[in-house]
A and B are shown apart, each in its own frame.
Chain A
Amino acid sequence: MTSARKRLAGGLLLASIFFFGSVNDAQAIPAFARKYGLRCSACHEAWPMLNYFGQKFKDNGYQLMNDRDSPIWQNPSYWPATFRITPQWHRDSSDKVAVDQAAAGQRQITSTGFDLSGLDFHTGGTLEKNISFYVLPSSNPSGSFHFETVMGRLDNLFGSPWLNLKFGKFELDNLVSEKRILTLTSISGVYETYHFIPVGDGNIFGRIGDTQLGVEWMGHSLNDRTRVSAALLSSNDGNVMLSNGANSYSGFFAASQAFDAGKLGVQRIGAYAMIGQAPTTYFTQGGGVTVLNGAIGNKSFHREGFVGLFYLGKLDFQVVTQHGWDNAWFGAGYGQGPPFNNGPGVTLPPGSRAPTWNGYLVETHYVYSPQLIFIQRSEWERMSRQALPTNPSNLGNIDMYTFGYRYYPIMTSRAGFAWHNEYSWVRQQGMAPDGFALTNSSLLLGFDFDF
């Protein structure tokens, strides 16, 4: 791999970390609490992360199933809207950044200052019993908006909890939900395990953490102990207007089972898989301008993982392990579009292979009370096969650690407010300008609130 490509890939990775980290469009909805007269803590172990009761509420199509779910029971002035934003102070540091002014061509860069997160503007709820919607326009910190989630839902079709449909743009059926993540720094704002791709890999599609466009069937037992789902998605990572993978589809499948473990709590284990295809060949016009729609040359990729939610009273562990596989064309950089265009006569670099890797995630929570939670997460991404035999075997490996706490001084059914304090650290092998490991750290102090 050329160092120019390495830098490009590294830059992309870093940029994506910063981008995603800053847009933590998580979902915690006082509008629901207000509608039902429930405190945030009823549905959230610590908002925005759901507990089992909240998961069941969500799986029922944002309904308590008490014959009072239809909006006809609401005060006519009730408007199911919530916003969330996090003013903050943060310190971000990168130990090796390519800098013209540095004698070695690279140096440590640290920046500190007061800042804003993006803004999430959630609206959601029932339109009628068993018909619901969710619309979430979300901005980045400078205020440019996109649609993070837009969906309609039909639930309990034919009176069966096993027949629920979602249509639109939604988060995949992840038990450990990235949209409800409790960690907020520029490093920890996403799960590495859900977004990892090998260095130089061009598959920008199989990102399990992102909201995706498609249709999902979900079924669950009445008390939600057993859950299954299958989704058909456009392979374009939630990008609208049929850009990129206009003619390619992926599937996402998930199943889980919960167990009553007496005094310890309800434990849950599950598995998921994403299997899909995405294009590597783009048409161009007028001498090289990409025609984004109608890309062809589909190649395949898949991800499969195991999830466990384990509770020991106040202490709980969320565990995810995920295996990833990308077709050799993606491994060689194709998929993201020109200049990597799989046209006539283009061949793979000699010795190219399909890259594979494994990710591990362990997040621990100590819920001291519904108002104070301590959080730790460790993630390790390990390449098991590099796309090019010449790559160092550990190229792109990631170690990420974060810890912090959230303190919720108020506990009501009207609004949420948290004092958030967190430190994160990440090391990526072979990603520094000098070809060695790159280390970043981030410290964040902020007010996280929604109303």
Chain B
Amino acid sequence: MRTNIREWSLLASAVVLLVSPCVCRAQITEYQQHQWLRMESHIGNLTGHARAAEMDYRRYCVGCHGELGDGNGENAPWVDPKPRDFELAIFKCRSTPTGTLPTDEDLFNSIARGLDRSNMPQWSTFTKQMRADLVAWVKHFSPRWQTEKPGTPIQIPPEPEVTADRIKDGQAVFQKVECWKCHGVTGKANGPSAATLTDDQNRPISAYDFTEGARPKCGDTDQDLYRIFMTGLDGTPMPSFADNIKPDEAWDLVFYLRTLEPQKSKEKEIAKQLGLKPVAPSTAPAAAPPQ
């Protein structure tokens, strides 16, 4: 009889031990959740409320981004690149400097634009209010939004006129700051570093192939391109060049990037007239990539 009681009490205390941390954790997250659920977003004169997006998140997003926003939805194992982990609040498409939080508007735009070459769809069918609410919901997953403010969006000077000189200067920038190391001398994403690139989660990632004609994830206007390399795609090896490239040079580089794309453009035409050759990697320390 006594052994029986001892066994029972052992079992009981084991159960208590096992359950108690869960209970504490549940209490903390419940309290935090309560606070975080009040998260708002502000886009123009729209105000988004996290709570209002709960059902839409379940309907549209949870299969990839997961119940907890950790990017571990049931489809995550089959999806590459992996769905964003909202707990980390690290985003690719920002108007704000590298390392800072994006603005609400950045997230608002990303949701409608989708991220090409990934499973993240274009949710352009949603009402603006739905998207604003979803932005607040996305933010409620990470404590960073409680303690940090979004970065200040970078200034983009007005776009100058395309000229042959600007394209040549742009090529010099491409050469100097070594975009080609990852993107390749012709933009084919086959630079000397390309094969070994990994993202923050140590998963292999390829650089963007300019010659494929695919839409960049963070938008395809000239302003978008400018923003992409001046803020970087956080969480990936694609760095921010804000410290290495002056604003005027940045426009030159945008024009040069256009010459690498298959689409017809003024830049491509000028490059053809110039007989522009790919940058010569031999002038750089790294070995030339096979062409």
Contact = CB atoms under 8 A, between A and B. Distances in A.
A66 B78 contact: no
Given A260-B128, A413-B63, A37 B119 contact: yes
B58 interface: yes
Contacts of B116: 66-67
B74 interface: yes
B125 A42 contact: no
A293 interface: no
Nearest to B128: A260
Nearest to A264: B127
Interface string B98-139: 000000000000000011111111111111111000000000
Q: Say whether chain A's binding surface is mostly helix, strand, loop, or mixed.
A: loop
A99 interface: no
B48 to A, nearest CB: 11
A370 B63 CA distance: 13
Nearest to B124: A223
Nearest to A258: B125
Nearest to B114: A66
A98 B114 CA distance: 61
A261 interface: yes
B59 A370 contact: yes
- Counting chain B CB atoms within 10 Å of each CB, which of A37, A261, A412 scores highest? A37
Contacts of A261: 127
Interface string B212-223: 001100000000
B74 A413 contact: yes
B60 A53 contact: yes
A39 B59 contact: yes
B75 A42 contact: no
Given A42-B60, A262-B129, A53 B123 contact: yes
A52 B121 contact: no
B274 interface: no
B88 interface: no
Contacts of A41: 58-60
B63 A65 contact: no
A38 B119 CA distance: 9
A36 B118 CA distance: 10
Contacts of A263: 127, 129
A188 to B, nearest CB: 25
A353 interface: no
A303 B79 CA distance: 46
Given A52-B125, A65-B122, A260-B127, A39 B62 contact: yes
Q: Give the size range of A's interface with the partner.
A: 20 to 34
Given A66-B118, A369-B55, A39 B63 contact: yes
Contact of B59 (A42, A260, A266, A413): A42
B123 to A, nearest CB: 7
A263 B133 CA distance: 10
Nearest to A64: B121
B230 interface: no
B122 A64 contact: yes
A68 interface: yes
A299 interface: no
Interface string A343-370: 0000000000000000000000000011
B260 interface: no
B93 interface: no
B79 A56 contact: no
Contacts of A68: 117-119
A52 B121 CA distance: 14
Contacts of B128: 260, 262
The 7 closest A-B pairs by CB, nearest first: A37-B75, A223-B124, A39-B63, A52-B125, A41-B59, A370-B59, A260-B127
Given A55-B125, A261-B127, 20 more contacts: A36-B119, A37-B79, A38-B63, A39-B59, A39-B62, A42-B121, A53-B60, A53-B123, A66-B114, A66-B115, A66-B116, A66-B117, A67-B116, A68-B117, A222-B124, A223-B124, A266-B126, A412-B74, A413-B74, A413-B75
Interface of B: 55, 58-60, 62-64, 74-75, 78-79, 114-130, 214-215
15 contacts: A36-B119, A37-B75, A38-B63, A42-B63, A53-B121, A53-B123, A55-B125, A66-B120, A66-B122, A67-B116, A369-B55, A370-B59, A411-B58, A412-B74, A413-B63
